[in-house]
């Protein structure tokens, strides 16, 4: 059986690198991409190599970053640009294989098993060629991991975060991968790493030799999966992306969107404006994916002590209507707290789960609700078509315009789709 050739390509300091490429004045300077302090989301989203060298960290406040790096240049995020550069990079990958699986905007796995011989048969030469093309054509650098499986390919690209290529093979993985900290491997998060360290398992090699009793008792099935990963046992395929959708064929389990409000929400109209904006984004994305939901959930973070809660409700008939999602989300919040200054809200998240295809027929009933829902669905789809042609702000609901600041937001456009889970 032919050995697989898998690469994981990670664009270095992606957000900050795009900013530096778009504005030559920023090249060579300490740059951070950050939210807007005026909207109270002023944290570091990404930093350039120069900023990282000064100790700037992702998720810290801008003022903290500037204490470490007084000359730090802070720029706002430009999600449209990130999506464009991400698409351009994948167009390069497509010239080598049709098996391209994105893992967020800046990372992709590619499977060259069937096409490597077309490009000379040397995986390292092809990796160098791809790296050089991204640098020459897009002005960005990439780290590339090369291996026979996805887990070690990603580990390789993570090992050298600066324009390097690391090959992890069946011959060298004990020397290359096993000495690394267990936390370097995909799906070993902080909590899992703490449990492993507490039991004396510090490295990937330690995890590779962990016993059945310990893994089963402390982690269950995922423990055995992680041990397999540490031993290079991973047969998961590189899932083919649909270039037209810029997406892979995977099962969507939920669609959500959240936002820290520009100011504390202290009354019903404040909360309603944000809930409808978020519900509009979630529902529009559902319709784009041809999905309906039966469960709507909300997450709320309070302004005072930053405590929060989440609640959900389940429908009898699935929906993708903005009005349904918004009314359910609003009802969940109203049922769980007063909407006044004493109970001010800082952030809200709306999520749709328990999804089904829009191609599935709706259950009819004697009250005619299904037919009414289909008529409302057609209206929402017509609005979506207008927005696809003229932008999301061409049609507004009146409730979204009750707040001048929030009415100017385009939450769907600025929404960042986070990496698809490795486990499906």
Q: Looking at the annotation, which residues are catalytic?
A: 107
**Which token pair is 301?**
């973070």
> Can you spell out the DSSP letters for 138-155?
HS--EEEEEESSHHHHHH
The whole-angstrom separation of Cα 218 and Cα 279 is 39
- Name the residue with tokens 């469960």: 295
Q: Is 228 annotated to bind ligand?
A: no
Q: Return the SS3 of 374.
A: helix
Its sign, for the CA torsion 25, 26, 30, 31, is: positive
40 in Cβ contact with 260 (< 8 Å): yes
Identify the DSSP state of 108: E
Alpha-helix runs per DSSP H in 36-75: 49-53, 62-68
Contacts 24+ apart (CB under 8 A), 121-129: 123/5, 123/7, 123/167, 124/165, 124/167, 126/7, 126/96, 127/7, 127/165, 128/165
Tell me, rounded to whole angstroms, the distance of Cα 296 from its chain centroid.
20
- CA dist., res. 196 & res. 207, Å (int): 8
Query: Could you tell me whether strands 241-242 and 291-302 are parallel, antiparallel, or unpaired per DSSP bridges?
Result: unpaired
Is 106 annotated to bind a ligand? Reply is yes
Displacement of CA 65 from its chain's centroid (Å): 24
- List binding-site positions: 10, 106
- List binding-site positions for Mg(2+): 10, 106
């Amino acid at each position: 059986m032919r050995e697989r050739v898998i690469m994981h390509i990670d664009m270095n300091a992606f957000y900050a690198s795009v900013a530096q490429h778009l504005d030559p004045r920023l090249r060579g300077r300490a740059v951070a991409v950050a939210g807007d302090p005026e909207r109270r989301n002023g944290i570091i989203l990404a930093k350039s190599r120069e900023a990282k060298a000064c100790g700037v960290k992702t998720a810290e406040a801008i003022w903290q970053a500037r204490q470490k790096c007084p000359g730090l240049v802070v720029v706002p995020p430009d999600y449209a640009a990130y999506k464009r550069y991400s698409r351009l990079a994948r167009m390069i990958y497509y010239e080598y294989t049709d098996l391209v699986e994105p893992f967020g905007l800046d990372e992709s796995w590619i499977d060259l098993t069937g096409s490597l011989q077309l490009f000379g048969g040397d995986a390292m030469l092809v990796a160098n060629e791809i790296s050089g093309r991204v640098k020459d054509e897009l002005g960005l650098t990439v780290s590339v991991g090369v291996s026979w499986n996805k887990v070690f390919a990603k580990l390789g690209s993570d090992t050298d975060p600066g324009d390097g290529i690391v090959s992890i093979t069946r011959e060298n993985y004990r020397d290359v991968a096993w000495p690394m900290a267990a936390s370097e491997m995909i799906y070993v998060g902080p909590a899992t790493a703490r449990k492993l360290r507490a039991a004396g398992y510090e490295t990937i090699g330690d995890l590779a030799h962990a016993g059945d009793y310990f893994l089963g008792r402390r982690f269950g099935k995922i423990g055995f999966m992680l041990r397999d990963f540490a031993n290079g046992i991973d047969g998961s395929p590189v899932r083919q992306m649909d270039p037209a959708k810029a997406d892979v064929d995977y099962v969507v389990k939920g669609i959500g969107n959240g936002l820290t409000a520009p100011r504390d929400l202290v009354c019903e109209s404040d909360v309603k404006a944000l809930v409808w904006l978020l519900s509009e984004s979630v529902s529009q994305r559902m319709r784009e994916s041809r999905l309906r939901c039966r469960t709507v959930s909300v997450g709320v973070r309070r302004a005072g002590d930053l405590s929060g809660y989440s609640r959900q409700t389940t429908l009898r008939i699935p929906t993708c209507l903005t009005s349904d999602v918004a009314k359910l989300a609003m009802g969940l919040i109203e049922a769980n707290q007063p909407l006044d200054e004493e109970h001010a809200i800082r952030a809200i998240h709306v999520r749709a789960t328990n999804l089904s295809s829009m191609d599935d027929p709706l259950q009819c009933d004697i009250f005619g609700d299904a037919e009414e829902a289909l008529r409302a669905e057609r209206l929402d789809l017509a609005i979506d078509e207008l927005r696809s042609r003229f932008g999301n702000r061409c049609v507004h609901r009146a409730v979204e315009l009750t707040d001048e600041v929030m009415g100017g937001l385009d939450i769907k456009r600025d929404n960042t789709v986070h990496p698809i889970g490795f486990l499906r």
